[in-house]
Structure 1
Amino acid sequence: MVDISSAPLLALLLFLLSQTQILPATSAGGNETDILSLLQLKSTLIDPLGALSSWNQTLHFCQWQGVTCNNETEQRVTQIDLKLNQLSGSISPHIGNLSFLTHLILNNNTISGEIPPEIGRLTRLQNLQLLSIHFNNFTGNFPSCFGNVSSLQAISAARNQVHLNVAYNNFTGRIPESISNATNLQVFTMLQVVNVGMNNFSGVLPHSISNYSELSFVLDLSGNRLSGRIPEEVGNLVNLGQLDLSNNMLSGSIPSSIGRCIHIQPATAAGGNETDRIQNNNLTGKIPSNIGNGTKLLHVWLEGNHLEGEIPPSFGKCQDLSALSLGENELSGEIPVEILNLPALGLVFNLSWNRLSGRIPDEVGNLVNLGELDLSNNMLSGSIPSNLGKCVRLETLNLMGNLLQGPVPSSLRELKGLEILDLSRNNLSGEVPDFLQEFTSLVTLNLSYNHFQGPLSTQGVFRNATKALVMGNNELCGGMPEFGLPKCSVESSRKGGLSTIVKIIISVVSCLLGLIALLSFLYFRFLRKKTKDPEAASPFTGNTLLGTTYHNLLQATDEFSSANLLGAGSYGSVYKGLIAIDDNTKMFVAVKVLNLQHARAFKSFVAECEVLKNIRHRNLVKLLTVCSGIDFQGNDFKALVYEFMVNGSLEEWLHPGLLDEHETGRREELSVLQRLNIAIDVGTALDYLHNDSGVPVVHCDLKPSNILLDVNMMGHIGDFGLAKFLPQVALSSPATSSSIGVRGTVGYSAPEYGMGSDVSTSGDVYSYGILLLEMFLGRRPTDETFRDGLNLHNFAAALGDNAAEIIGLIVVPGREEDNSSRSSHDHSKKEKQKVLMEAMVSIIQIGVECSNEMPRERMSISDAATKLAAVRDKLVKAGM
């Protein structure tokens, strides 16, 4: 800073200058204007290293560090170079008076604030060529003035190349259309990179993007807040090496013109990768079938959108493709064989979290160079192809959450470089292969929730219960004590397991038990006295469905086609079916086919029959009939037939894109009032189960996927496979011990269940509280942010009465909040906003009180449903 006491005249000039507007670039002033502008620039910068110590009256300003003048005659400032000086503070707008400036180099400091728009007022500039400001902390709107500087050739000249590079700042506002006026920047023959990623730019992509047709390597707009459609003009970028539009809010479909970008050249030292990155947006529609025209593509990243339809086989034309990631979309159909013949596919092949069906093609063995294969959370069926053992370079193999069956093929013993192997949540069977204990690189092995049987090894990865996960395989035995498996009998220790004769005997006994259970069920159903409510007396819609056979259900579901699959779990799979009531009437139903290979599936079948034959409520899923018999191969067959819920599960509405929706088009977001109505429906049904159904019933597995929505968006509780009738003494206080183990699902299950307590109605209340918090805060109880003792309950409790913060957290602000915030001066809108904020606080408080850790401290379900109904009344009266 200038010492004012030693330079009174200079200080006076600075004071006067600070009190006036910036001098126009055309004003006279010469050297005096330059020196005053430099001193004003110094006054707004913080200089911990003393880099600006020479900027004082003892030296001529052309000799100041970092300052360059044009010649000895004019002595006007043409360049300021202050890079790598740890400067902070801000840039003074008086820099706009340096009318001869051609180079401004401020990169690799920590300067913050906005870039002064006065730079654009230097209309006399001929030789402005370089503005280097990268690796700072600039904020605010990106100045549109840059578009008026027609001589501009480079912004941030990294590696002596001509780049438009303003990445990793905090710029906001829109990308100015006027940038296209900088014609030298557009057509400069060495232009290689345009990088404005990792800022906060908003608005839509300008159509003038087509002016960068000479751009030869990188267009990076990632990590901003861009919305709207990708302009069709993107197809004019025929020389593009990398297109990165990831992590924005782009919508609409991928333009078909993208297939015209076919002249992609190999990467050079510029760092170009022939890449399409459009992941983590809101794109819909189909992937263009001509996307494979970009035959030089190396990487394609489209995950995290809402793309639908089949995967284009034209990807098979991209012989240089080394990474293809299409996960977290709504793609359907089978895996194209053409992709599996790509010789260069070596980095990653990710199709996870889609709706793909059919078998995993044997051609997957052609991907001999692949490092990561992720096909998880689809509806793939059949066995694991033995050819997969040819992919010897695999480090990650994730097949979890499918319908795969049969044993693990022995050919997988060749995949010794695996670090992650996840086969969980399938229908795999047989013994756990011994060769897995030889995989020394394994960090995670997940075999849970399958039907593996026999003894578990105690060697290799199986010595560590944190690396190997085997829960949900009820026929496993042995292993390390940490796994908690039963000891193996002499018979189960033998290779091959039970003999064929024993299996036949067990099968016959199972059939007899199933027949007895069915006859008992029908007997008690017809002997049961009718109550005053006619609907309550009849657990089925009509007696004609009681005769439903395996053949009927096979026809109704198109032979249990994967196209009709609604969901799958450990105990069975649910299919959509169209079944005949009579000669003229058909109705849609949901058919739950029990997986009788699971030890508890039969118990689940009996439990649902017992519960649903005795209870009836408008907010409970209706059981229409049951089917118990044998299939065409002579195997036991058991199924439950329910009323079909056209709007699927609450899970699919709370977290769209993560689960199968089985309907075309994107679903609208649930409004606050819709969420509240569903919460009241569920609370009312629980109140009936606990207090008004005769013998109290505990559901034991309340969660979003078990809440089904009908055509009117009314909530219905389903899946009573874990339900239990309670004696009156066990209503609200759980017993101190239990022989049944943990009930429910992790995150939703009451904490006392994990400590061995028996089930109680308060356990359902805990699950309901967690469900309520998830519905209105948008976070799963298993969210990865909850760690080190923090959980959804504690997180919500910490919010307290901070309504504004709660409103900000809700995943769906709803139309109510938008309308409230737009007209802050409108009294009625303010009143609505006030009512909404009070309602949100009340709802979260009810969720917190229901999910207290101690059962005796939880709110009763009757009180919770009553209070939520009162909140709804206030919202309705306010016109929401």
Structure 2
Amino acid sequence: MWFDTNNKTVAVAAILGNQTDHFALLKFKESISTDPYKTLESWNSSIHFCKWRGITCNPMHQRVIGLNLNKYQLHGSLSPHIGNLTFLRNLDLGNNSFYGEIPKELGKLLQLQYLFLSNNSFVGKIPTNLTYCSNLKYLFMDGNKLVGKIPIEIGSLKKLQMMSIYKNKLTGGIPSSIGNLSFVMQLDFVRNNLEGDIPQAICRLKNLTVLGVGENNLSGTPPSCLYNITSLTIFYMPINNFHGPLPPNMFHTLPNIKQFGIGGNHFSGPIPTFINASSSITHLDMADNNFVGQVPSLGKLKDLYLLNLELNNLGNNSAEDLEFLKPLTNCSKLHGASFDQNNFGGVLPNSIGNLTNELKMLYLGVNMISGKIPAELGRLTGLLSLSLISNHFEGVIPTTFGKFKKLQALSLRNNKLSGDIPHFVGNLSQLYLLDLGDNKFEGNIPPSIGKCQLLQILDLSHNKLRGTIPLEVFNLFSLTNLLDLSHNSLSGSLPKEVGMLKNIDWLDVSENHLSGNIPETIGECISLEYLNLQGNSFNGTIPFSLASHKGMRHLDLSRNQLSGSIPDVMQNISSLEYLNVSFNMLDGEVPTNGVFGNATQVAIIGNNKLCGGISQLHIPPCPIKGRKHTKHHKLRLIAVIVSVVSFLLILSFIITMYWMRKRNQKRSFDSPTIDQLAKISYQELHQGTNGFSPTNLIGSGSFGFVYKANLVSEDHVVAVKVLNLQKKGSHKSFIVECNALKNIRHRNLVKIMTCCSGTDYKGQEFKALVFDYMKNGSLEQWLHPEILNEEHPTTLGLGQRLNVIIDVADALHYLHQECEHLVLHCDLKPNNVLLDDDMVAHVSDFGIARLVLSIGGSSRKDTSSIGIKGTVGYAPPEYGMGSEVSTCGDMYSFGILMLEMLTGRRPTDEVFEDGQNLHNFVAISFPDNLMKILDPHIVSRDVEVAIQDGNRENLIPTIEECLVSLFRIGILCSMESPKERMNIADVTGELNKIKKAFLTGVHAHN
């Protein structure tokens, strides 16, 4: 009918079509809730819709063929009426705030060629109907929150040339049907959760120029044919689990490659010798793999811009290791080069000074390079960042370094450099980071350092510096992250000018010979979070001004000569997590609120005149102020005598009754001491869990199930543990857990709120415990990706895991050493570590805990007769041979938990056969091959952030040092012999040192 000869039908159809388009656009506008630029104001009846902003029409039929609203900050959902714009060819809604699902009605746009939905907040799956758009050439959905799999039907888009789904939450594999996209030139699947192999079918894409599959969970050995796609210019697949060697001739078959990125995988073997065959390479990233051998000559890569070979096993600590640097002098466009954390030895050749002046970043840290730093290095006057940390350099800093007028970051930490810190350091006026710690520098801190008015991080710690701290240091108003002068021989006072560092976050002058009063002006450092003054000779009183630091988290004043009382106002610092005033000459009453209310967060030993405080601090009570009148003295004496006699009589009665009862019957756990707990009814629990609905079920354990509940009486969401009373030992578990938790309080222990002991609606016995609800679930859910829910990130970064380890250790420290009675947990494992909204860890499930009571100089274990002594893999070997439970057993479980957090492997992993176990698996690789057993995701999130901030090369050494220390603790705690295991006090001490070093490193590289 469209081609009616009299054209009347044509006109009618055109009018109807125009009305359809007009109505669809109005519906589109209705779905927009926010339009800050008033983009859609022109969308009204005063003008034809073809003249509305963002609309393009076919001039003949006046039908909408283009809708372009990119970057207008529109907020709203995408109306399904968009599918009625049947002539639409180009749809561009990128860089807005569209939310909700992508409507399946887009599949009706059969003429659509360009679909751009990038950088919005679309959720849900990629609609399969989209594959009906057979004319589609460009498909961009990157930067959203899409989930599910890539549709297999994607292979039906035969005209597709570019596809980008970068930065979503897609799972599953890359479908083999992708091989049907014969015209495709660019595929970008970066930053999703894709898994499995790269399909062989991808090798059929002979026009492919860009392949991006990086930052997923892909694995296996990439198909060898992939290296034969001669059209490839960008090959990007870092941060996955790929392994195997690279084909030796691969760069012969990739002649057009410009960017080659495979960092953060498990590739091994040598770097292909003929890499020079791809002379057009500009970016070469092979970092964080297992490559070995010597670095081949790269001198023919004339366009090389970025070279990253860090975190491998290259070199063999020989004199020939750094010979590859000489050919690099031909790479005149080189902008950044990193060789950190390899096995390079020998001396740094003088030819290093012949590298291009275009070089901005040079990293050679964490190797075994020795000798003096060549003066020729000072020729690289274009450098912005230079790191030579953790090598064996000796001698002085070359005077030629004074030419680094553009240098912003200089890291020479952990070498054997000596002599004075040169005065020309003041000429490096662009520095924001100066790290000379852990060397042998001596003499005074040069006052010229005050000219570096952009410094944010200054670390001169662990040297032999002497003299006073120059006032010029405190004139560095730019110091915001770190000032660390600790472990030197500095003398004099801490001047009042310290208050000028108003924005400093971390100040450490510990372990020096400083004296005098702590200046009141330190209260003017309003951003201070970490203050370390320990190990000096400060005297006088603790300044009241310290209480003005509302964000203070860590304060150490120990091992000084401070006197007077602890200011009461310090208990008002709500953010304070750790306070150490040990080994001073303090006196008076210890406060009880704030940080003083938790014995695990405050250290006060070595102050013999302190009194009061909470009972867990175990210091004498403060004396009652007496009256002068003799009569009153006598009355008080009489009262004391009467009290003592009464006490002895009562004590005698109690002991007699105890032994009579002991003789007649055994102490029964069927009479639980849970009276202190408030009770809640079965009806309330039934209503709060929607009748114990499966949809409310959030976990299960040895003796029951855990439900999420919303209790009216508690006015918030809680977790309800319902005991399975049909299971043997469940009654005992209920009582033991009540007794264990009713009197213990710690920020890292799960808090029991109430309990229920009665009958259900059927008259059957019912028991349940009610705890605080932990939004982020158990540690188990975070360590093993196969059970993650969509709300969780892929995994925990190293910093988060370190915090969890410390939280669990603090909980154990409290149970083993701070409780009134020793508590043995007996079942420490990831399932029993819960994470709250702030990712703070809480140890839970005390169903088989042992409470050790001291009676008459001996001890006994308050426990049920439950036969279970922990969980297979986490319980120590001696428990299987009938040994009694002990703190050593808890330490074994803690060690195994640490190793699981670091390797990503459960102790029951199927790879552990024939006597192999998680402890031996780690010990064999410690300390030289830890990267081979490390959970591949553990560092990726920290490194990802560092990459975004441009600091990956600097942060890696800090991460490695931290990992070695953590693995060491995990190994020592999980030794087979109980006597060889670390105790919890030593563990918490070591962990706090590790955290400090880690945070210092992160601060130093941010």
Q: Return the TM-score normalized by structure 2.
A: 0.44
Q: Higher RCO, 1 or 2 (CA under 8 Å, sep at least 6)? A: 1
TM-score, length basis structure 1: 0.49
